[in-house]
Structure 1
Amino acid sequence: MSHPLQSSTGSYSSTVDVLRHLIQARSVTPNDAGTLNFLESQLKKQGFSVEQFERNGVKNLIARHHFGDGPTLAYSGHVDVVPAQSDGWLVDPFSGQVIDGIMYGRGAADMKGSIAAMLNATRHLCAAAKPCTGTFYWLITSDEEGEAEYGSLEIAQYLQSKGVVLDACLVGEPTSNKAVGDTIKNGRRGAISGRITINGKAGHVAYPEKAINAAHIAGELVTKLTSLNWMKDVPGSKTTLQVTGITVPNIVDNLVPASCEVTFNIRYSHAYKSQEVCEIVETLTQQAKFAAQLQWERPCESFYTGKKDDSCFLSLVEHAISKQLGHFPALSTAGGTSDGRFFASDDTQVVECGVKNESIHQVNEHVSIADLDMIESIYLRILQDFFVTK
């Protein structure tokens, strides 16, 4: 499946070469480090029209190939990566070296490997003699690992302003567990963080009756928070609340604290929207005995893609994987958030499919060459089943 890909900056003869080039670009959020220009040059050679735009230091790319009247599919991805120091790595984390059939490097799995594989799959699709119908978009950002304020959200809003409605969106996040293609995500739990300030009354620890201990109130509130009953949870998509910090300022051993701060994060089932989650927590924190002020931070909405009776993209992806592997993938909504939430709607089915996620954000992040070949073949099958005229 290795075919030449020419670039003004060199020759990229295979998915491995493309991935190595992408890894060597130190595109730590929100710096794209030239990767979007590289992708633009490659996609233009396949007949795509390409535009880039920048929002608050974040670069985004939208590429479009119109084959003819028919449904619209987008591939969504990100070129930015989390930072990496050399300590503990077998190789320089930005070298893209291959050892014993495994490529090491920051972003190898999350998610430059997916981009490299999709680029080669796209090339195969565009070079094929079989007629295609529909429209194919590439939607790439350099702001997924950070706050995600000026990346895919801006891309989605831009498409909406142009009247573009996606029928389907394939997100290249690493979703596989033990083998490529064994798991895909047809949704994600939502996420939101909270910061609670509890006010009491300072006093000497020897006279607790003259003080109100904010830490004690916080302890009771934490117990209540972690015991909340999430009635709308559905199998496979459970809501979890984790306290991430309990802080008392200016701690001394003879002073009853007058204030205490509690921070927490909720990963909530796709059966909820963030407003519902907030209302449940606020009903608790607004009780008079807690005297708490609550501030919400970093909301990320949940989304879910169910089956459709006709033209179901989820079913198409399942069957494409089955054709390649001989078995259907498991469906999951577990894990963190993804940019899929910005594209999911009543009109757009979003499915995430990528390589194994066992090493993402870790020292010695990696992907095997065999896994790259497999995800490329899966992507090509998906593209063929979606675009090629039957």
Structure 2
Amino acid sequence: MLAEQRQKDVIELCQSLVKIKSYSGEEDQVAETIQKYAEERGVDEVITDEYGNVLLIWNGDRPGPTVLFDGHIDTVPVQKDQWSVGAFSGEVKDGKIYGRGTSDMKGAVSAMISAAFNFAEDTNRSFPGKIVVSCSVHEECFEGVATRLVSEKVKPDFVVIGEASNLDLNRGQRGRAEIVVETFGKPAHSSNPEKGLNAVYQMTKLINGIRELPVAKHEVMGEGILELTDIKSSPYPGASVVPSHCTATFDRRLLVDETKESVLAPIQDLIEKLKKEDPAFVAKVSYATGEERCYTGEIIGDERFFPGWLYDDQETFVQASRKGLQLLGLDAAISHYSFCTNGSHFAGEAGIPTIGFGPSPESLAHIDDEYIEIDQLVKATAGYAVIMKALSSVKATEEESNYV
């Protein structure tokens, strides 16, 4: 499936990236390492955009589609005392590489880069269009936001998300939103609560109502879960003050075609209902906003609404990719992600035909003693190369994408 030297190359690349700590906003060293590695091996072009995404480009010898492979290079933090191996060691043991980011997702990034070099060498760069590997930043805290610049710069015809899929072929994902509800009261001394209006009691009315709302469902993606994740009163600590403000945050898993307006509408209707029942009830609902500083100094920010997406499993680009993987000897079952990825931008916002394929099961992301099986890393490297061949041959201008 992969020559011995090529196996060695991707393993060593994965280890070298894992050894570099790269929390969100601190990806500069791993970005520099990737750029140097690619330039030394003869990549055609390297672009580092304003957010710090590193784009590696291999040009074919004739017109054709731009096929983008995306993998993020930031990781979640570690608690080193919870690890039995070095969290940034890249240690190889029992056929596995250990370290933060092995499965999520420096292993996949290494496989994509290696596959692109292998593909360029095997074809002698005689292929249509171009191959781009996007080593993107800030995915762990802001799915898809940083990659808006990526699609703007390279205008891909197809996107392959390298997030863990256990070597299955994913055609969609649930999205994610953070919803904030607020209730307002009137402060008073807690010895005379009747002189005030307790915002927490008002919040309990709203939360109870939200829990009774119908749950959105999709035949493929499952339920649009709405789960309370935190609640906060003000002032805090309260001492002897009746709280005049209360904020609760809900995590909402988004289904296909749900919009910012449609997701908030049931909660807004509930607020209006409670207002009619109690004229003193005052509340509002909105999306949480976030702002993050990139290692370049640029600031990214937006509402925390990351759309879901799903493509028909009979799409030409889906079937062409699957056929190539199966000829390689992989089952490549059609599936979808349960978590959020940069596909929220590429497919959910930009409408670019997108699939997901990567090494490791989803369950290995973010865990202590994170690892990637070398067998999966090797198979993913071979798999990305056959997807490059398959999608380079699809005429993007003739592709009719059926967004489910």
Q: Would you say same fold, with TM above 0.5?
A: yes
Other-structure match for 1:358:
363
Residue 173 (structure 1) aligned to one of 137, 159, 163: 163
Other-structure match for 2:336:
332
CA contact (8 A) 1:237 1:270 kept: no
What is the correspondence of 1:110-149 to structure 2 with a 5 Å cutoff? 110-129=104-123, 131-147=126-142
Residue 61 (structure 1) aligned to one of 27, 40, 54: 54
Deviation of the 1:87 alpha carbon: 0.8
Count of matched residue pairs: 368
CA contact (8 A) 2:11 2:374 kept: yes
Amino acid at match of 2:312: K
The verdict on how the C-alpha distance between 1:260 and 1:360 changes in structure 2, with shifts beyond 3 A counting, is same
Q: Provide the C-alpha distance between the structure 1 equivalents of 2:173 and 2:330, rounded to a whole number of angstroms.
A: 26
Other-structure match for 2:257:
271
CA contact (8 A) 1:190 1:273 kept: no
Amino acid at match of 1:292: A
Matched, 1:52 2:48: yes
The verdict on how the C-alpha distance between 1:291 and 1:15 changes in structure 2, with shifts beyond 3 A counting, is same
Structure 1 range deviating more: 245-254 or 85-94 = 245-254
Other-structure match for 2:171:
186
Q: Provide the C-alpha distance between the structure 1 equivalents of 2:22 and 2:262, rounded to a whole number of angstroms.
A: 37
Other-structure match for 2:64:
70
Q: Provide the C-alpha distance between the structure 1 equivalents of 2:8 and 2:88, rounded to a whole number of angstroms.
A: 20
CA contact (8 A) 1:272 1:302 kept: yes
Deviation of the 1:77 alpha carbon: 1.2
Deviation of the 1:325 alpha carbon: 4.0
Q: Provide the C-alpha distance between the structure 1 equivalents of 2:21 and 2:343, rounded to a whole number of angstroms.
A: 24
Structure 1 range deviating more: 65-74 or 100-109 = 65-74
* Structure 2 residues without counterparts, runs of 5 or longer: 289-302, 395-404
Residue 103 (structure 1) aligned to one of 91, 97, 103: 97
What is the correspondence of 1:268-307 to structure 2 with a 5 Å cutoff? 268-287=254-273, 288=275, 289=278, 290-297=281-288, 298-307=303-312
What is the correspondence of 1:301-320 to structure 2 with a 5 Å cutoff? 301-307=306-312, 312-320=316-324
SS in 2 for 1:358: helix
The verdict on how the C-alpha distance between 1:116 and 1:171 changes in structure 2, with shifts beyond 3 A counting, is same
Q: Provide the C-alpha distance between the structure 1 equivalents of 2:95 and 2:372, rounded to a whole number of angstroms.
A: 9
After superposition, what is the alpha-carbon deviation per residue over 1:97-116, rounded to whole angstroms, capped at 9, x for unaligned? 01111111010001100011
Matched, 1:384 2:356: no
Q: Provide the C-alpha distance between the structure 2 equivalents of 1:361 and 1:323, rounded to a whole number of angstroms.
A: 32
Deviation of the 1:138 alpha carbon: 1.6
Other-structure match for 2:85:
91
Amino acid at match of 1:280: P
The verdict on how the C-alpha distance between 1:81 and 1:309 changes in structure 2, with shifts beyond 3 A counting, is closer
Matched, 1:40 2:35: yes
Q: Provide the C-alpha distance between the structure 1 equivalents of 2:30 and 2:3, rounded to a whole number of angstroms.
A: 21
Deviation of the 1:79 alpha carbon: 1.2
Deviation of the 1:286 alpha carbon: 3.9
Q: Provide the C-alpha distance between the structure 2 equivalents of 1:129 and 1:235, rounded to a whole number of angstroms.
A: 38
CA contact (8 A) 1:195 1:261 kept: yes
Deviation of the 1:40 alpha carbon: 2.6
Structure 1 range deviating more: 361-370 or 218-227 = 218-227
Structure 1 range deviating more: 120-129 or 312-321 = 312-321
The verdict on how the C-alpha distance between 1:119 and 1:218 changes in structure 2, with shifts beyond 3 A counting, is same
Q: Provide the C-alpha distance between the structure 1 equivalents of 2:362 and 2:144, rounded to a whole number of angstroms.
A: 24
The verdict on how the C-alpha distance between 1:244 and 1:385 changes in structure 2, with shifts beyond 3 A counting, is same
What is the correspondence of 1:233-248 to structure 2 with a 5 Å cutoff? 233-248=218-233
Q: Provide the C-alpha distance between the structure 2 equivalents of 1:377 and 1:113, rounded to a whole number of angstroms.
A: 13
Deviation of the 1:61 alpha carbon: 1.5
CA contact (8 A) 1:198 1:214 kept: yes
| TM-score relative to the length of structure 1 | 0.84
After superposition, what is the alpha-carbon deviation per residue over 1:274-331, rounded to whole angstroms, capped at 9, x for unaligned? 2211233222234413411333214233242423877x22222322333334534131
After superposition, what is the alpha-carbon deviation per residue over 1:165-210, rounded to whole angstroms, capped at 9, x for unaligned? x22100111122xxxx2x3332222222122221234567787766
CA contact (8 A) 2:143 2:306 kept: no
CA contact (8 A) 1:2 1:14 kept: no
What is the correspondence of 1:21-40 to structure 2 with a 5 Å cutoff? 21-40=16-35
Deviation of the 1:133 alpha carbon: 1.7
Other-structure match for 1:373:
378
Q: Provide the C-alpha distance between the structure 2 equivalents of 1:47 and 1:387, rounded to a whole number of angstroms.
A: 18
CA contact (8 A) 2:169 2:335 kept: yes
* Structure 1 residues without counterparts, runs of 5 or longer: 6-11
| Identical amino acids, percent of aligned pairs | 21
Q: Provide the C-alpha distance between the structure 1 equivalents of 2:49 and 2:201, rounded to a whole number of angstroms.
A: 51
By percentage of residues, which structure has more helix? 2
Matched, 1:15 2:10: yes
Other-structure match for 1:9:
none
